[in-house]
Amino acid sequence: MISFESKIISVQSLKKKLFSLRAQGRTIAFTNGCFDLMHLGHVKYLQAARQKNRILIVGLNTDQSVRHIKGDSRPVCPQQSRAAVLAALSSVDFVVLFNEDTPYKLIQALKPDILIKGADWKGKRIVGVDLVKGVEFVKYIKGFSTTGTIRKMKYGKRSLSHY
């Protein structure tokens, strides 16, 4: 069994692994995000992204990147914790951190076959679309978001108890 720690990988190491996976005819899928507080929406999204025997790479925003995008109160969980939780999921093959606001340079370096985005991204500008064969949208699960969870914790709103 592969340890989750070995799934958290540098760009250079991942590029070497992808070379042999491509030689085996595997499809490389890429998604990205902050994944600050993992929730059911994230888990279902990543399971759907991994379908069709793909290799799933998750580009994870570093703490610095999350702060720049979301503000000084984020992330709630540090990057090593977020990376470990993602890597522990069976649907995730590799986790690679990136420090920029967008994963464009990472996508450019890894050259995945497809990008996976939530259906809430339809009609929006998708970074890296010019570098891949296509984009696939995964159903968005309404009612689950990290921002919403933080708001509920802060203001005592109803908890997320529905599946």
> Mean per-residue pLDDT for 33-60?
92
Q: Which residues have CB under 8 Å from 85's CB, separation 6+?
A: 35, 38, 77
pLDDT at position 148: 65
What is the value of pTM for the model shown? Answer: 0.87
Q: Which residues have CB under 8 Å from 116's CB, separation 6+?
A: 29, 30, 31, 48, 49, 56, 135, 136, 137, 138
3-class DSSP assignment, residue 117: strand
Q: Could you give the domains of the chain?
A: 4-155 (3.40.50.620)
**pLDDT at 73 > cutoff 50:** yes
pLDDT at position 39: 85
User: Chain-wide mean pLDDT for the chain?
Assistant: 90
pLDDT at position 140: 74
Whether the Cβ atoms of residue 136 and residue 114 lie closer than 8 Å to each other: yes
Whether the Cβ atoms of residue 46 and residue 57 lie closer than 8 Å to each other: no
> Mean per-residue pLDDT for 123-134?
95
**pLDDT at 117 > cutoff 90:** yes
Please indicate whether residue 116 or residue 120 has the higher confidence score (pLDDT). 116
Q: Quickly state the pLDDT bin for 56 (edges 50, 70, 90).
A: very high
DSSP state of 141: -
Question: Which of 38-52, 62-76, 105-119 holds the top average pLDDT?
Answer: 105-119
